[in-house]
Amino acid sequence: MDEYFTTTLDKLRTDNYGELTLVLGNESCDLDSAVSALVYSIFLHWQYQQIKCKVCTKINRNEDMYKDDIFLAILNVDRDDYELKTEVVYFFKEHGITAEKLIFRNDLDLKQLVPTKRAKVVLVDHHTLSSNDQFLTPYVTEIIDHRPIDKSSWGYKEDTRSTIETVGSCCTLIAQRVKDLAALVAKDVDFFNAYPACSDMLHSTIILDTVNFSQDLKKATPHDEDIILFLETLLKPGDYEAERKSKLDRLSQAKSDVSSLTPAQLLKKDVKIFGSVLVPSFPILVQEFLRKPGAQQALSEALAKRECSVALLLGMDYKEGMKRDTAVYSTQTERADRLSAFIEQWTSPPLQLSPLAPPSEAACHYYKQLNLTATRKQYIPVLNEYLNDKRFI
Ligand SMILES: [Mn+2]
């Protein structure tokens, strides 16, 4: 795998390559998107080498003129925000893949690069381009996605190869596609055997996405199951069940481990904006967030930056049974008071907010939330009501 990173990055930096193919995941840059993009790029690189060896012997090739094609995974997030994707950072690091080896969204000027190089673009884990990415439409040559098909804004070329199938994880479709394509140039298991780390990454991601084939969540399909069994014939874990469970535990733990994040990063990790209300949601209790040094300043800065006037903070922790808490913060007391009154009095459903003294110096309204099933979704009607009150927009 190191050879892939070294040659690709070197050729990219020195602008010494033939054709350029970009493999782009979706903007959430979750593990599925990141692994799908990376494994498929490594596969395309491997496939290219196999074909090159077959069709063209070194003797016939003028080494000075010849330039190899490169296949680049783009992590669809800015480099500075990579740390927010804690499970991706953790998992890639486990495979020796540090941020220096990766290409992030803002590392390249795609608007300039793609047309100049007539790059090919492969979309994985999404098939509807965001408004910022519309310029990529004519360059898309392949799509591999597991979301329900949406043709409403389908502007791709007619010969775009698409694999769209509703399964638990896009990595299932990547593994299938790799297996099928590898069989055309070698044996279907050859790529996986040459890159065991790729087999492991696909396997782990399918386990995380299907929550280890949870019967309750029903995310997995028979296709996910088939691919997991196929990958296990290659990975040969000692104890299949134990290996699956330990992978799920470690990745779920890494996903909610925000201990390395600063208050400002926590406010960016999972945030939604409703009108003028900033609504960050944390995988820790709000009280833990508020006790971090610099939390109040980070809050004021986030409000100013996102042009919001008030923040509604939602926290949860299930280490010792589920707990939830909530806080309302604004630099303008009147706005915080008003939003607090709305959420305290809300009855459909009642949020059961029990007011407590703020856990830190931060001047806010702080509550323990006794309704443990209410998530950000249940706060949306309250926020809409608040925002309808024209005095507070
Ligand atoms: Mn996905």
DSSP 321: B
**DSSP codes of every residue in 160-180:** -EEEE---S-HHHHHHHHHHH
pLDDT tens digits, one per residue of 198-232 = 999 999 999 999 999 998 888 999 999 999 999 99
The pLDDT of residue 56: 60
Ligand 1 mean position, distance from CA 147 (Å): 8
Ligand 1 mean position, distance from CA 308 (Å): 30
The residue among 293, 332, 336, 289 whose CA lies nearest residue 314 is 289
The model's confidence at residue 309, banded by pLDDT at 50, 70 and 90, is very high
- Average pLDDT of span 307-319: 93
- Of residues 55 and 168, more confidently modeled: 168
Tell whether the model's pLDDT for residue 60 goes beyond 70. Answer: no
Ligand 1 mean position, distance from CA 162 (Å): 16
Q: What's the first-to-final CA gap in the chain, in angstroms?
A: 53
Ligand 1 mean position, distance from CA 106 (Å): 22
Do residues 79 and 51 touch, judged by C-beta distance below 8 A?
A: no
- Of residues 60 and 315, more confidently modeled: 315
Q: Which residues surround the ion ligand 1 when the cut-off is CB under 5 Å?
A: 32, 125, 170
The model's confidence at residue 25, banded by pLDDT at 50, 70 and 90, is very high
Mean pLDDT in the chain?
A: 93
pLDDT tens digits, one per residue of 148-164 = 998 888 899 999 999 99
Ligand 1 mean position, distance from CA 113 (Å): 27
Ligand 1 mean position, distance from CA 246 (Å): 21
The pLDDT of residue 152: 83
DSSP 158: T
Ligand 1 mean position, distance from CA 25 (Å): 9
Is 156 strand, coil or helix? coil
The pLDDT of residue 197: 97
Do residues 17 and 11 touch, judged by C-beta distance below 8 A?
A: yes
Q: Would you report the helix, strand and coil content of the chain in percent, each value rounded to 5?
A: 50, 15, 35
Do residues 138 and 157 touch, judged by C-beta distance below 8 A?
A: yes
- Average pLDDT of span 14-43: 96
Enter the tokens of residue 231: 């990958």
The pLDDT of residue 326: 98
Ligand 1 mean position, distance from CA 125 (Å): 5
The pLDDT of residue 348: 86
Tell whether the model's pLDDT for residue 59 goes beyond 60. Answer: no
- Average pLDDT of span 264-282: 93
- Average pLDDT of span 270-280: 92
pLDDT tens digits, one per residue of 79-135 = 999 999 999 999 999 999 999 999 999 999 999 999 999 999 999 999 999 888 999
- Average pLDDT of span 282-289: 94
Say which range, 47-56, 98-107, 143-152, 348-357, has the weakest mean pLDDT. 47-56
Which residue shows structure tokens 């782009």?
A: 24
The residue among 340, 345, 349 whose CA lies nearest residue 374 is 349
- Fold for the domain defined by 2-254: inorganic pyrophosphatase (n-terminal core) (3.90.1640)
Ligand 1 mean position, distance from CA 248 (Å): 16
Tell whether the model's pLDDT for residue 371 goes beyond 70. Answer: yes
Ligand 1 mean position, distance from CA 170 (Å): 5
Ligand 1 mean position, distance from CA 318 (Å): 25
The pLDDT of residue 132: 87
The pLDDT of residue 227: 98
Percent of the chain whose pLDDT exceeds 70: 96
Which residues, at least 6 apart from 314, have a Cβ–Cβ distance to it below 8 Å?
279, 280, 281, 282, 286, 324, 326, 375, 376, 379
Ligand 1 mean position, distance from CA 33 (Å): 6
- Average pLDDT of span 379-388: 91
The model's confidence at residue 65, banded by pLDDT at 50, 70 and 90, is confident
In the chain, what are the domain boundaries?
Answer: 2-254, 263-392
pLDDT tens digits, one per residue of 166-188 = 999 999 999 999 999 999 988 88
Tell whether the model's pLDDT for residue 29 goes beyond 80. Answer: yes
Superfamily designation of domain 263-392:
DHHA2 domain (3.10.310.20)
The pLDDT of residue 256: 86
